Chain A
């Protein structure tokens, strides 16, 4: 795979920088036969430093998972340069994977093994001696609060417990870099908070985290820095706060009007409030008016004798950043 790819960039010797966890330049991934290729990742640059919590935010199909699989050294790079922990995944896959923890989007736990065996056997794949794995497994079960379930079958665990077990499994080799692909997708709110708490503790302990998510609250909770991906490219980069400051206003007034009120469409209503904010977004069910003072917007809307059935004033979030950058919402 690597032999045929042309190197267009001069890449410095990363091995001299021990704090570079991920370095990608013009990274590409395409699938399918030549001529009918589908390009999932279209040339992205990424830098992740030791101790960071880094996020890939974007809707389904943005290229996040393809990027993650290349970073995990399981999917060959189609173009560009990639260094993980200073090594080239094309030639040093086993060495890289030995130092990574991977929590895939779908659980790949062995449902016929019990909880403890899932961790123990996985630890053995890394060549960790038996006694050592056994000790680590006990520690990890404690960490993810599954000690009492050690003998339970994986099948009998709840969704949240399975995720925690997958995270415990990804930590069994004490990774330098932990990759989490959509860690809380499909979990109920309580289970998500338990998981975030555990991930936050890892972050505090100095583990470098790389997270993909299409939940902006998750990105805001966990990420120091993130990139917003859309259709295979990076459309913005920064801390959650920076991104919000750069691409949105402090507040948002959400105005919900009744369906086709007096023949007025959302578009015509948007024209009537356009001057009240910096920007107005028209969604199928509501208008978003971006302004430094949302309450003032709502007051003025009422002064103009417009009668939204519901209003909400809130802080701007990454969802608004995404909407601004791509013209689409994150979760369709």
Chain B
């Protein structure tokens, strides 16, 4: 039995991550739960009040609020995952060297990544769940079951970013490249991947570029199922793209972490 079972290795870190969460949940309350509400009110209700558009132009939404919120939740899943896999991961690897201490025990690289990404999943799942619950009374969901599928799509896009940014962190010497990641990756995607306006508005080339971003696939799933305006072939493409990103990203992340820590 050379390797420790994956689930066992991950489970052994539960106490560590519980302690981390107990220590950090207060500071994450604003970014996870209050800030999203501000976005909904500011962008959806107040700014959206000036937007007069018909349902056809808004990808099937009856109001700008109904259009923008599914996109906002998907974008929030991305931001939560990126937030949890940048500086905190650099801390585990380099600053506090928690990973080094873990690797002196029976735990192996895949267990460390598994537990950390499980925690990222937990953070994405809780923040998106709260977000969706807060949205329910705004009357933006068109079916009772669609939001559950939309929620799954949000988790999927969150984890697609989670594994790739985690793998990126594993390969970074220091935190300076994070500035670049946010400036040329996260923020442009947040603004132009269809969360705030239909990507068709970007023109032929622009809209295709937007559709190449992982976030668009998440926004697309989230919106179609919230609004109960589903194009099943698009949904299938969205799911395949995101699942592939998660799976490939996972192996890429493990390989990077192993190279970094086991020398």
Contact = CB atoms under 8 A, between A and B. Distances in A.
Interface stretch (A13-21, A122-130, A187-195, A266-274): A122-130
B4 A94 contact: yes
Given A91-B2, A94-B3, A113-B19, A122 B101 contact: yes
B260 interface: no
28 contacts: A75-B262, A93-B106, A94-B2, A94-B3, A94-B4, A95-B106, A97-B105, A98-B105, A102-B104, A104-B100, A106-B97, A108-B96, A108-B97, A108-B98, A108-B100, A108-B101, A110-B96, A111-B96, A112-B96, A113-B19, A117-B19, A122-B105, A124-B15, A124-B16, A125-B102, A125-B105, A169-B101, A173-B105
A100 B16 CA distance: 21
Given A93-B108, A94-B2, A74 B8 contact: no
A56 interface: no
A126 B97 contact: no
Interface string A104-143: 1010111111000100111011110000000000000000
Interface residues of A, number: 32
Contact of A125 (B1, B3, B107): B107
A127 B12 contact: yes
Interface of B: 1-4, 8, 12-16, 19, 23, 96-98, 100-108, 262-263
A109 B104 CA distance: 12
A74 B104 contact: yes
A182 to B, nearest CB: 15
A117 B17 CA distance: 12
Contact of A126 (B96, B106, B108, B262): B106
Contacts of B263: 31, 75-76
A171 interface: no
B15 A120 contact: yes
Nearest to A91: B2
Contacts of A75: 262-263
Contacts of A124: 12-16
Nearest to A113: B19
The 5 A-B residue pairs with the shortest CB-CB distance in the complex, in nearest-first order: A94-B106, A108-B101, A125-B105, A102-B104, A108-B97
Given A74-B262, A108-B98, A125 B2 contact: no
